[in-house]
Structure 1
Amino acid sequence: MRDIDALIDRSNAGYSPRYTQALLDRMMFVGDPVADRAVAALHERNYDRAADKLGAVRALAVEGDPAAREFVEAVSRPPDWLDRKAIAAGQTIMLGFVALSRLSLMHSLFSGGVFARATLVTRATGRLGANPATRISETGAFIGAILQPGGLDEGALGYETTLRVRLLHASIRAWLKRMPDFSRDFVGEPIDQTMLAMTLSLFSYLNLRSFARLGVRFSEGESEALQHLWRYVGWLLGIEETLLAHSLRQERELWSALVAHQAFADEWGRQLLDESVRTAASLTPGRGDMRAFFRSVFLHLSGPAWFGAQEEARIDPRLRALRAANVAQSLRRRWIPGAAGRMAATGLAAFDKSVKLARAHQFEVKIETPEENARAEAALKSLGEAARRRFAGLAAAAT
């Protein structure tokens, strides 16, 4: 897809005949019924992020519980469209760019905060008792598990990790709806189908777009293999086929519709940009003041309009050097025999620590909630009010 580097924001986003506003309105109220019923069968007395929900559901299934059996049987039947060779190719390609993936996905995770409802869920989740954590390292554990050779085969670490995340989402949905303040103010299901689809695209479409803007170009076949990899992860996470794009171009079409539907830059974007730059810089100690670099990265990869900012997207000299190095690395990978394999092997070794983290944690995801000051709280309150105004008609119809 030659124009994959083209930016999408509220100024040019829109719905399509495939992804209509009516469809996304409806999907806002759909969670993950199969996983939700399985978690309900656990009769959790409190929110416990460390509990082995997957093991508990499987034990219930053996005992004959209908909801647990439904979940176990559903995930054991792979979709007809699954292409294992494409999955393996996607894993190898992504392993070749581990260091750049960390930067690209850091941008994805922070920039996704412009999606108002997702941000409200993320912040509310911090009040369920999860300790503030390094979201980047846990995301790295998730990706490291997925990218292991055979990692998405049934029973493998990436497969198990993804199912644990899916059940954790179901548990979060259940507990957020029991919080009076949250359930009163929030419109739709927490971690609904639109939110899941948006989050998946942070790893898939947006990640590939960022690679292109950072100087890395993949062939059409390589891009589609990467998209197929994440499509299967999305299927394991419980995303309905309606919102599982079949190609990278179709996924961009979905992303555009999601931006039109739920991105609220004006109420939160500038505050999000400032907070993201500070947090990203704090994650790279010992390299001097990195705030100018990360501000340049975020504005270059998403554009000022994404954050509702009026400033010009200036290219920091360090970002310019990084792009030049990425172009050179891409050329070496394409033209030097064996280079791609060596890059993948290096990437696999780099993920060793992340894989150990995934195994040790049984990957019960923590969602990072920064220490909130008065300014951030005011921005979040404004964001919540804007979301309620935007979807006021839907909220009234649902009650």
Structure 2
Amino acid sequence: MFARSTPTSIPDPPPSAAPSLRRAWSAAPAAAAIALITLLGGSGLHAAEAGARAADPVDAMIGFATVNALGQNGTTGGAGGPTVTVTTTAQFLDHIARPGPYTIRVSGRITLPTGSNDGMYDVASDKTIIGVGSGAALTGGGLNIGLPVDDDVTAPPANAVHNIIIRNISFSGASDDMINVQMFSHHIWIDHNDLSNGDDGAVDIKRGSDFVTVSWNRFHDHDKTLLLSHDEDAGPQDIGRLRVTYHHNYFDASDQRHPRVRFANLVHVYNNYYRDNSYGIASTYNAGVLVEGNYFYSVNNPGRVDFSGDLGRIVQRDNILVDCNHPIETRGTVPDPRTYYSSTADPASSVPTIVPAGAGVGKI
């Protein structure tokens, strides 16, 4: 059904490279590539590429959230419904729970109380939640996108939550997750947010959820960042689903799970900037992950397929590793996500410039 993708070989070193480096390249190309980048000054940036983007617009929706599937043609959020501006907790919680499409503009700082639900508040289908300016914030709690957990449900229900856009909001201090997507929710776009200091996950996607894009977010001062599938018993709900695109996110000294994946049918991780993390990507339980055009700086383990459980699959191409202790582990083959949607990766060398400049709040 899908075109097969195979790892792209590392290109030959430039003619100007020293003979010793060219010999090293032949013996161990991955290590030699890292050495060459270090010799070029550590960043791998070329003057012609610095500050330039050659590919998709910063403000565009790209990836699995754009796909026509499950009765939803892409992700439109609250388009076609009323637009409201909320400034209080009561107004915010009222409007995110209403049926029908709404565009909800968040103005200023809103506190989500812990209450009896551990601070997690349900978002109904067909909503755009977007911050006004650079000061919109949700603190103390998080957003839940999905029906209540039911392990006996193993196919998308007719009333699955769907068509949600969350953009340009700072999340911090959540007593549980900051954003949780569960129970076959689909067509979700999480874009240009700032997420920090949550108690559990920053963005967790699990229990059969599908067709999600997580783009241009900044994650910092946080431990467990991106979980994709919640545990090793989740196969009945997750196998063949969890199609997620992660692109142009800034993992700014966040610790782990960028993402940590089980079972997922196909995950596209491209053009993200990893800086000072314990590990980048972990693929387990036969999950398929394409790791493409990312820049890893000071990451102990950039990508793993042998990580707590059954082996996963990773295909990697055109990534840059600087001051990393291990290479990206690869295994198996992965379908090409461009079977589903169009995207063009930026050169990995430009990622340290374009991603911090474009990720997070106040950029759209």
TM tier relative to shorter chain: under 0.3
TM-score by length of 1: 0.22
- In terms of fraction of residues, the more strand-rich structure is 2
TM-score by length of 2: 0.24
